[in-house]
Amino acid sequence: MDASLVGRDAVVERVWRALAGGAPALLEGASGIGKTTLWRALVARARRADWTVLTSAPTEAEAALPYAALADLLRPLADRVPALPPPQRVAADVVLLTGDHDEAVDERAVGAATRTLLDAATGGDARVLLAVDDASWLDPPSERALRFALRRLPRLPAVLVTRRTGEIGPSPVPLGLDDDPTGHRPLTRVGLPPLGAAELHRIVRARLGGTLSRPLLARLARDADGNPLLAIELARAVLRLPRPPGPDEDLPVPSSLRHLLADTLRALPDDGRDAVRLAALLTVPTGKDLAAAGVPAGALDAAEDAGLVVVTPSRIEFVHPRYAAAVRESIPPGVRRRLHGVLADAVSDPDERARQLARCAVAPDPGVAADLAAAAARHRQRGAPALAAEWYDRAAKLTPPKATAERDRRRLDAVQCRLDSGDYAAAARAAEAAAAELTGPAHAEALLLRSMVAWCVDDLTGAVSVAERALAAADPDGRLAGRIHAHLTLFHDAPEPARRHAAAAIARLSDRDGHRPLLTAALLLLFFHEVRAGRPARTDLLDRALALEAGEPSFLAGSIPAIWWKATDDHDRARSRLHLMLDRAVARGDEPWQHETLTHLGEAELLAGRFAAAAEHIAAARDLGEQLGTGLVGETWLAGMLDAHRGRLAEAGAVAAAGLRRADEFDDAWCRRIHRQLAGLVALSAGEWGEAAAAYGALAAELDGSGIAEPLAQRFEPDWIEACVGAGDLATAARAFARLAERHARLARPWTALGLARSRVLLDSAGGGDPSPALAALAAACWSPAARAAGPAAAGRPGRRSRRRSPNSPRWGPSPSPNGRRRNWPGSAGAPRPPPR
C-alpha cells in the first residue's frame, strides 16, 4: 500500500469495486483530507488496468473559464473529432482549441459532441474511466455538457468525482450522479473522515522522513483535526526547529496555512521561489508558458521535492488548490505586478494574456483596454457574464479619457453583464454611479439599466419612475427612446398606458437592425395588453412577432405566446414554447432566465393538472430563485397553489396569509391578486363558503379597479360561484355567472365553456329549478376533448364538497431579462410582474 493511502485502503477497494462494476463513485471530505490523493491512486490503478482514462482536475481560477474542464476530459479523444457531424465537430474544435472558428459556441452542439465522443469511447471492449477531481471548481458549461451526455449514453463509463465539504451548505451531487432511474448504477458515496494519530504518524514519516514522539504526534493530530495535508505542514515546521517543543510549550508553528507555506517558500532557492510564484499566477500553469517567461528547466524541482507542486509533461499542478492561493497571497504587490507583466509578454492564449494585463497595467492604455474589452466580449458570448463584467470595468478604467464613447460603452457593458449574471445589487450600484457621472445618450442608457434592475427586484414604482427619467433624457424620436418605450410597456401594470408605450416603441424600432428583438417584444406586448384591456385579440400582432423572431424567443416578452396558449388551454404548445426558452437560457448560461422559465413551466403544468411535473419545476425555480435573490414570492405562491391542489390546506393557507400581509405592506396589487385567489381556494376547499366568496369578490374588485378586463389565465369565477352558492348568496353568484359569461363571449375557451356548464348546474340546483338540462350539458362538456384540454381547473362537480380540488389558476406575465433584451417573470391576472423581492 502506498504510504500516502495509509488508513484509506478499505476506501480505495470499495470505490474500485464500484467503478469496476460500472457504478459511479463520489469521494467527499474537508479540504486537505486526502481526496485528491485517493483520486490519483484510483486513476493510476485504472491506467495500470489498461482502461481509457479521461481526467480533469479543475482549480478555482479555471472555474471562470468556459469548457476548461471539458477540454481536459475530451483531449484524449481528439483523434475522434474529425469523424463527428459538422456542427458537433465545430463545437468540439472550439472547446479543444484545435480549430480556427469565429462562431459562438452552441452549448447544445457541445453537449451532443461530448455524448458522441463518450459513446464511441465506451462502445468497444476497453473500459473507460471519467474522473473529475474537486468538482466544486467545474466550470458551469463543462458541467452542463457532461450532465447532458451522461444522461443520454446507452453505455456509461465508470465515473469518479471528488468534492470538498464543510465550507458551504448542502449542494446537489455533481453531474447528477445520484439520478439513476433504472436503479442499476447506484451511486457509491464515500465520506472521508479525519485520520487518527497512528495513520498520521505513518504518513508524516513516509513524506518527511523524520520521527516525532507520540505525545507530539497526538498534539499535531489534534491541531490538524485529523487532516493529513495540514498535519504534514505542521510536522514540516516542527522538524525545522532546532529541538522539539516540550509538553508545556506551544507548538512553534504558524496557525495558518499561509504562514506555513511562507516558511516553505523561504526555504526554496530564488529561481524555485520565482517559478512557484509564476505558476500560481497562471490560470493553468504549463511548462511551455513558464519556459517562455524565463523559468529555467529544473527550477521547480525543489518545490516538487517540498511537496508543493506536481510537475507533469502537460502542466504543473499544485498539490492542493489552497497552496496556489496561499502562494499568490504571499507575493508583495510590487513583485506581483512585475510577474504579471512577465507573464503577459510570455503567454500565447489571448484570454490569459488579457488576464495578466489586467493585473499589471496601472495607467490608461488604449491597446490594453481594447484587449481587455475583446476578452470580456468573448467571455460574455461564452456564458460567463460575471467575469466579463470585471474585465469590462477594468477596460473602462484603462481607456484614455479622450476616448469618451468607448469608455462609456465599456462601463455600460459592465453594468449589463452584472445584470445578466443576476447580481442585482452590484448592477444597481454600478448603474446608479454611471447615471450620476455620464452625460447624453450614455446617461439615458444608464438610467434604463437602473430601471431594469428595479424591475428584476420587483420595485415596480422605481422601474417606471427611472425609465421615465431615461425617456426624458433621450432623443424623443430616436431608437433609444423606442427601446425605453418597449421597457415601459412591460413595466406598466395597467393596460392603457402600456398600450401607448407599445405603440410608441413600434413606431421607433426597425426590424432591420439590432433592435429587431425589441420590436418583436413590443408587438407581443401590444397584443398582450390589447387582450387585457378587453379588446378583440389581435392575433395578427402575435403572428407578426412570431415570424420576426424566427424561432429565437424575444428576451423581453418571449413568454407571452406561452401565456396566451396557456390561457386558451393549448397546454402542449405552451409547454413546447417554454422548453424552447429554457434550452436557450441553459445554452447562454443565463440563470435568471432559466429561473423565470422554470416558474412559467411550473404554472403551465399546474394548469394542465400534471402535478408531479409542476412540483419539479416549482422546486427548481425556488432553489434558483433563492440563489438569485428574487424574494421567492411568486415561486412560494405557486407552491401554495400546488399544496391547495393536493389538500395541504394549512401550508397553502399560511402562504396566502403571508402574501396578503406583504401586499399590504408594500401596496403591491399583483401580490394581492394572486394571494386573494389562493386564499379563496383554501377557504373553498375547507368548506368556508363565506370566506371564500369574500376573497374572490375582493379579487374581482381588484381587477375591475386596475382596468384589467380580461385577466387571461386567472380563472376564478367558477369557484367564486360555487362559494357564493355554498354561502347562500345567489345574487352575487348570478353576478359572477354573468361575469364569466362575458369572458366567454369575449374570448371563448374550453375552460370558460366548462365553467359555465358547471356553474349553471349549481345555480339551477340552488334556485330550485330543474338541473337536468344543465347536467346533460355538463356531462357532454366533461367528456369533450376541449374539456380535457382545459385541465382540472374547470372540472369541479356540482354540489361537490371535496376539499381537494383544482382551482382556476392565475397566469404569468413577462418581465425584463437581464440580457439587455429582457426576461419574463411570473405575474398574475394578465399583469406582467416578476416575483416580488
pLDDT category at 382 given cuts 50, 70, 90 is: confident
Tell me the C-alpha to C-alpha distance, in Å, between residue 548 and each of 177, 512, 570: 41, 10, 22
Tell me the Cα Rg of the chain: 31
Q: pLDDT at residue 85 above 90?
A: no
Residue 172: the pLDDT is: 79
Flag whether pLDDT at 687 surpasses 90.
Answer: yes
Q: What is the DSSP letter of 689?
A: H
The pLDDT of residue 726 is 94
Q: Is 549 left (phi over 0), alpha (psi -120 to 50) or beta?
A: alpha
* Amino acid 98: pLDDT: 59
* Separation between Cα atoms, residue 694 and residue 676, nearest integer Å: 9
CB count, 10 Å around CB of 405? 11
What is the structure's pLDDT at 37? Answer: 84
> Lowest-pLDDT range, 415-429, 527-541, 705-719?
415-429
How sure is the predictor about 620, in pLDDT bands with cuts at 50, 70 and 90? confident
Q: Return all residues near 190 (Cβ < 8 A) that are at least 6 apart.
A: 11, 14, 15, 25, 26, 27, 28
C-alpha to C-alpha distance for 585 and 593, rounded to whole angstroms: 6
Domain 3-191 homologous superfamily, CATH: P-loop containing nucleotide triphosphate hydrolases (3.40.50.300)
Q: How many CB atoms lie within 10 A of CB 384?
A: 24
SS3 content of the chain, % helix, strand, coil (to 5): 65, 5, 30
The amino acid at residue 74 is L
What confidence category does residue 648 fall into, taking pLDDT thresholds of 50, 70 and 90? Answer: very high
* Confidence band for 259, pLDDT divided at 50, 70 and 90: low
Cell numbers 401607448 correspond to 500
Average pLDDT across the chain, whole number:
82
Across 341-363, average pLDDT: 87
Query: In the CATH hierarchy, which fold is given to the domain comprising 583-794?
Result: 1.25.40
C-alpha dist (Å) from residue 69 to 40, 54, 107, 118, 145: 17, 11, 15, 15, 10
pLDDT of residue 191 exceeding 80 = yes
What CA–CA distance (Å, rounded) separates 55 from 770?
Answer: 76
What residue has cell string 479543444? Answer: 96
Residue 260 confidence (pLDDT) above 70: no
User: Quick check: 812 pLDDT over 60?
Assistant: no
- Which residues make Cβ contacts (< 8 Å) with residue 325, sequence separation at least 6? 60, 280
The model's pLDDT over 742-800, given as tens digits with 9 standing for 90+, comes to: 999 999 998 898 899 989 989 988 888 777 787 777 777 664 554 555 544 444 433 33
DSSP β-ladder status, 309-311 and 316-318: antiparallel
**What is the three-class DSSP state of 161?**
strand
User: Three-state SS string across 500-526, please?
Assistant: HHHHHHHHHCCCCCCCHHHHHHHHHHH
Gap between the Cα atoms of 794 and 716, Å rounded: 9
pLDDT, tens digit, for every residue of 511-542?
A: 876 788 899 999 999 999 999 999 999 999 99
d(CA 680, CA 694): 8
Q: What's the pLDDT at 379?
A: 84
CA 563, chain centre distance (Å): 23
* pLDDT band at residue 362 under the 50/70/90 scheme: confident
What is the band of 257 on the pLDDT scale with cuts at 50, 70, 90? low
Q: Is the pLDDT of residue 239 over 50?
A: yes
Q: What average pLDDT does the segment 487-509 reach?
A: 93
Mean pLDDT of 191-203: 74
pLDDT of residue 1 exceeding 50 = no
Q: For residue 680, is pLDDT > 90?
A: yes
DSSP sequence for 739-774: HHHHHHHHS--HHHHHHHHHHHHHHHHHTTS--HHH
What the block records as the C-alpha cell of 402 is 479622450
Q: Given a cut of 80, is residue 422 above it in pLDDT?
A: no
pLDDT at 215 over 80: no
Range ranked top by mean pLDDT from 105-109, 182-186, 456-460, 566-570: 566-570
Q: What distances in angstroms separate CA 524 from CA 279, 490, 801, one per listed residue?
A: 53, 10, 41
Q: What is the pTM of this model?
A: 0.66
Instruction: State the pLDDT at residue 496.
Output: 93
**What pLDDT score was predicted for residue 125?**
77
Beta-sheet strand order (sheet of 188-191): 52-56, 128-132, 158-164, 25-29, 188-191
534: left (phi over 0), alpha (psi -120 to 50) or beta: left
Query: Which residues are registered as beta bridge partners of 53?
Result: 129
At 140, the pLDDT band (50, 70, 90 cuts) reads: confident
- How far is CA 232 from each of CA 15, 266, 320, rounded to the nearest angstrom? 25, 17, 13
Q: Using alpha carbons, select from 391, 452, 398, 401 the residue that is nearest to residue 422.
A: 452
Give the whole-angstrom CA distance, residue 131 versus residue 52: 11
Q: How many angstroms separate the CA atoms of 680 and 808, rounded?
A: 11
* 646 pLDDT tier (thresholds 50, 70, 90): very high
Higher pLDDT, 297 or 626: 297
Residues 162-188 have a mean pLDDT of 73
The answer to whether the beta carbons of residues 632 and 625 sit under 8 Å apart is yes
CA distances from 131 to 43, 125, 459, 638 (A): 7, 19, 46, 39
Rounded to whole angstroms, how far apart are CA atoms 15 and 27?
A: 9
CA pair distance 158, 220, nearest whole angstrom: 38
618 or 816, which is more confident? 618
Q: Which residue has the cell 476497453?
A: 126
Q: What backbone torsions phi and psi does residue 49 show, to the nearest 5 degrees?
A: -85, 10
